[in-house]
Amino acid sequence: MERWKGRVALVTGASVGIGAAVTRALVQQGMRVVGCARNVDKIEKLAAECQSAGYTGTLVPYKCDLSNEEEILSMFSAIKTLHKGVDVCINNAGLAHNEPLLSGKTEGWRNMIDVNILALSICTREAYKSMKERNVDDGHIININSMGGHRLVPSADEHFYCATKYAVTALTEGLRQELRAEKTHIRATCISPGIVETEFAFRHHNSDPEKAAAVYESIKCLKAEDVASAVTFVLGAPPHVQVGDVQMRPVEQVL
């Protein structure tokens, strides 16, 4: 990770869960991190904690609604003005709604597409543009995916969400191929965790907190810090090493 000290990373969905853990880990490693979310109160608190801990990096909170392309473009413009550009892009933001294929609401489907697929793709495109215009040839784009992007969970509430994560799997490999065609050494990686104990299940099952709690009580789950460790492992791999897809799940997880 030594070569990343002082470099700029963008982490989407940085306010809680995996995003907050990844943000903390990168600041601890000396990176300048722009952490974005719709609400930056928790990111501002995290920035203060990182400073108090004496971490060598810095955290800059940025308010951005990733379902709005104009806000994403404005964020990248601000990063260019203040920090010259992005060297590492961590596409972490994602969400799920209980909207089955046979009875789900279009609004919920569209929101999952907007955040899980389109926002990820827009951030990827803009991060690559930022790297290319500054002749950055060692950048890294990491998509936080899900085991749901590799196998289908037998639950109607999860099917559309899994479809968006299958898209992330395809988008990451497509990105890798396009980067190779451009003869760049910018790397693309997909990290696909299984069940991680965060606030995710409580947001997903917001009308049934007992069901959400049961998800995390059934087995010993991954922690957000486990995924953050995977991110630093991937970033820390030698520049000639392309880690394409990291699949990680709790030992006790069946699917």
The whole-number average pLDDT for the span 86-103 is 97
Tens-digit pLDDT profile for residues 150-180: 999 899 999 999 999 999 999 999 999 999 9
Can you give the residue ranges of every domain in the chain?
2-239
Predicted local confidence at residue 198, as pLDDT: 87
How far apart are the C-alpha atoms of 244 and 201, rounded to whole Å?
27
Tens-digit pLDDT profile for residues 186-221: 999 999 999 999 887 777 777 677 877 887 888 999
Catalytic residue among 55, 62, 161, 216: 161
Predicted local confidence at residue 57, as pLDDT: 98
Residue 55 annotated in active site: no
The CATH architecture assigned to 2-239 reads: 3-Layer(aba) Sandwich (3.40)
The whole-number average pLDDT for the span 25-41 is 97
Contact criterion met (CB below 8 Å) for 1 and 9: no
**CB neighbours (10 Å) of residue 177?**
11
Tens-digit pLDDT profile for residues 133-154: 999 999 999 999 999 999 998 9
Contact criterion met (CB below 8 Å) for 224 and 21: yes
Per-chain mean pLDDT for the chain: 95
Predicted local confidence at residue 207, as pLDDT: 67
Q: What pTM value is reported for the model?
A: 0.95
Predicted local confidence at residue 201, as pLDDT: 73
* pLDDT tier, 30 (very low <50, low <70, confident <90, very high otherwise): very high
Tens-digit pLDDT profile for residues 99-126: 999 999 999 999 999 999 999 999 999 9
